Structure 1
Amino acid sequence: MYLPLFILSLLVSLYPASAGDFCVADLNLPDGPAGYSCKSPAKVTADDFVYHGLAAAGNTSNLIKAAVTPAFSAQFPGVNGLGISIARLDIAVGGVIPMHTHPGGSEILVVIQGQICAGFVSSANSVYIKTLNRGDVMVFPQGLLHFQINSGKSPAIAFVSFSDPSPGLQITDFALFANSLPTEIVTTTTFLDKATVKKLKGVLGGTN
């Protein structure tokens, strides 16, 4: 009966609460696989735990007619080391967040305005798609391909939260067609014809 209490008191004495409450990112030091190094506690202020960047709409005047405004550790130092982050999605009419993955974390999306068709593909190639309206929430498991499309007749806004302060992002179309990956390799690995690959590289700015 007394042993668990003893162990608990020992842990509390070894790990005082103030020593591990947070690890505000020191943006003057490089980011690494474990995140940013901690800012000196003496230099931490309330401003480190507040971020104002999600109030303004993102610029959707681009190819995908959408914008992602992140509040990851690089923008919001207070989330560093806490296993959480957030971002804003603005999707114009006809806009899309293309197929992509977040290798570092799972995602929860909540629709604030408009209508969004969202879905993901499991590792067993099962497809899960749903049309979401204001107030609806959908989760996307870590590492799986997923997308969001404005399926309504007005601009859509959503907020997405992640289980990591830097969840990472890889957009499938850009990974295949927006770089110097040789056309021959793309055609072989995707079964697309060379003309289609060249066309997509031209649209997305790829070479070779």
Structure 2
Amino acid sequence: MQHFFRHTLDGDPHLNMKLIYAGLVIAIIIAYRFRKNDKLLKVLLATNVLLQIILFIWYLGYKELFIMEGLPLYHCRIAVLMMAVGYVAKKPVISRYFAWLGIIGTIIAFGVPDPSDYLWPHLTNITFICTHYLIAMSSLIIISRNEVKLNFRDVVLITFIMNLVIMIANTILGSNYSYLMKLPPALPIEVNKYIIFTIMTILLIIGEMLLDKISVAKTNKGVSDLSA
């Protein structure tokens, strides 16, 4: 058990991404099959928040890494917490915005994986995979409810404030949360941090609005087909 929670960095985790992609597909199928099950959504949200708490506590044991990586300032960690907040506070706009953010974040995380440098198995490996599975599942259920649709003003405001807070934290701490200061190692391109911030903010706004409009359009088409 101590080995599973070790703090000494010991190498590349060598994750089998093909198996991870297969697991993600299975997770999405399950979420879609039970998308109307509110109890499942509660379990997914609660489990993912618990995972973040466990990971946060683990980071507290490694002070240097805690400052650089342990704070909930990655987009996916923010999505986990804010989806839960939106659900509990009955703020469907918040839940829906961060559900889409979670889906975008999961695609990027698994498309350009950058897990912590611990050989498998380790807490960070497990949370990297499970967090994104749970994000994908809970996001799909929240979006499928179609309680609201996002508007441009809200998306711009939330995205800008979120990224600005992360950018300020990065500047103060010398960290690289949400890769707003430097691109992931898998993309070895030197880009000015202000350009990264601007492009990332614009792309997130476009991504959120585009995905939401496609989802709403498909839902409306489905309703029209049923009523025809």
With the shorter chain as reference, the TM-score category is under 0.3
Q: Which has the higher strand share?
A: 1
Query: Higher relative CO (CA 8 A, sep ≥ 6), structure 1 or 2?
Result: 2
